Amino acid sequence: MSHILVVEDESAIAELISINLRHAGFEVTIAATAEQAQAAVDGALPDLIILDWMLPGQSGLSLAKRWRSEARTRELPVIMLTARADEDDKIQGLDAGADDYLTKPFSTKELMARIRAVLRRKAPEALDSVVEVGALKIDPATRRVSRGDMDVKVGATEFRLLHFFMTHPERVHSRAQLLDRVWGDHVFIEERTVDVHVKRLREALGPVQCAQMIETVRGAGYRLTQQGGVGVVSTTKPQSQAA
């Protein structure tokens, strides 16, 4: 389930967007100010942000520029939703880093379509793409996990769990969400089973000093984070598929 942050100071508009998003199956957080939005992003990266331009205090445009300038949020999908409809405003918004730009008044159906389109574009290129988070690399095509020239031996379930974490870094995932996304919602097993496999995954990552990348978020679940909190997530095609 994708998590969307709605940054909008007009409560009626924020609620309208929220209702439509939840009806479509998204998790939603609402922020009415730039400060609230930044606090939400600092806590856990959403899958996409719907961002108003005109906010109390700092503008949405400034927020977009800030997020694009920082490694942790550089790839964060952003759709600007604003009453500023001039062509120059749209150019400014897109130049600031917005992935799309929609003006008010707007069609909720069009907004939902644009959200789906941006999420599709921002998804990992393919299930067999190599994914790197910090020094850790996972290659689904060869089922290899490594740090530099050191290989990490993990079981099949731990491999799937790590792949999910690495393709959704910095985001908090509950045990129920992990069961749904890693094991599949047709599997009826205890949520505490997740804890067992997370423990095994940390043990496997220990010899390459990456165990601390799997963080426990008390009362919420788990997330994978950059060591030291700085760096860029990247995806590349396996060498065997390189042109």
Flag whether pLDDT at 240 surpasses 60: no
Exposed e or buried b per residue across 136-160, where buried means at least 16 C-beta atoms within 10 angstroms of its C-beta: bbbbbeeebbbbeeeebebeebbbb
Flag whether pLDDT at 27 surpasses 70: yes
104 versus 120: the higher-pLDDT residue is 104
- Does the predicted TM-score (pTM) go above 0.75? no
Please, which pLDDT band fits residue 227 given cuts at 50, 70 and 90? Answer: low
145 versus 183: the higher-pLDDT residue is 145
Supply the pLDDT for residue 236.
Answer: 47
Flag whether pLDDT at 229 surpasses 70: no
φ, ψ of residue 97 to 5 degrees: the values are 120, 0
**Strand pairing report for 130-133 and 233-236:** antiparallel
- Asked if 222 contacts 173 with a C-beta cutoff of 8 angstroms, the reply is yes
Q: Is 27 helix (H, G, I), strand (E, B) or coil?
A: strand
- Asked if 211 contacts 120 with a C-beta cutoff of 8 angstroms, the reply is no
93 versus 238: the higher-pLDDT residue is 93
| Helices and strands per DSSP (H, E), number in the chain | 8, 12
Of the given ranges (58-67, 98-107, 183-192, 229-238), which has the lowest mean pLDDT? 229-238
Average pLDDT (163-177) is 89
The contacts of residue 77 (CB under 8 Å, 6+ apart) are 47, 48, 49, 99, 118, 119, 121, 122
Per residue in 206-220, pLDDT (tens digit) is: 999 999 999 999 989
Domains, the chain, with CATH or none: 3-122 (3.40.50.2300), 130-241 (1.10.10.10)
Supply the pLDDT for residue 210.
Answer: 94
Per residue in 34-88, pLDDT (tens digit) is: 999 999 998 888 889 999 999 988 899 999 999 999 888 888 899 999 999 899 9
Of the given ranges (23-37, 69-83, 96-110, 119-133), which has the lowest mean pLDDT? 119-133
Provide, rounded to the nearest whole percent, the portion of the chain with pLDDT above 90.
Answer: 57
